[in-house]
Amino acid sequence: MDEYERLVDAYRKGDDTALERLVQSLRRPLYGFIYHMTEGRDDADDIFQETWRRAIRRLSRFRTGNFRAWLFRIAHNLIIDRARRNRLLTRPDEDSPDPLALLPDKRPTPDQEAIHSETARRIAEAVAALPPEQREVFVLRTQLGLSFREIAAIQKTSINTALGRMHYAIQRLRRDLLDLRPDTGQDSES
């Protein structure tokens, strides 16, 4: 039984502080995932809150296993539902803050951010331009550190499909960001 399952079990037995600890421990990765997959802060806030409401209401259905994957699957479904209502998955617009800066432990220091803001903007745009399934796998794996087994469970697909989506996402990002690579030392015109 992992820490999340222990907290779920404690909450079911009446320990309200266990729920607070559970929400607190998953707040940043869950919100970062939702924010990265939606239009912006308002959508992310709504989906984040609805994810926890549904999780708490459906906690009796959660048996054992990977609580984090189960919770992210609820968020995934809500994101898909919202996208269907809007007719397409949206991407951050020019006025939205850089979604990569909101992800856990990946934010640059202020001076690094100033130095690399153009690069970060280009990377964020390239990630946002990925097809939705590839973007989701990429974010879940690289930003949140989920295993491909967890990602496959969230997307209700096979591990091979999740791996393939990651492969295609990386290929596309390499192609789209080729000009950001450091000089390889080959002769170039001056």
pLDDT value for 84: 78
Tell me the C-alpha distance between 2 and 121, whole Å. 37
pLDDT averaged per 10 residues, the chain (length 190): 87 91 92 84 89 91 84 91 67 48 48 62 86 92 88 92 94 85 50
Residue 42 has a pLDDT of: 78
CA atoms of 9 and 169, how far apart (whole Å): 37
The answer to whether 70 and 62 are in contact (CB under 8 A) is yes
> Which alpha helices (DSSP H) does 107-147 contain, by range?
110-128, 132-138
Q: Write down the residue that tokens 């432990």 correspond to.
A: 105
Domains and their CATH numbers in the chain: 1-93 (1.10.1740.10), 110-180 (1.10.10.10)
Contact present, 38 and 90 (Cβ < 8 Å): yes
Which pLDDT does position 20 carry in this prediction? 93
Q: How far is CA 174 from the centre of its chain?
A: 20
Other Cβ atoms within 10 Å of 175 Cβ, number: 9
CA triplet 149, 129, 36: central angle to 5 degrees?
Answer: 55
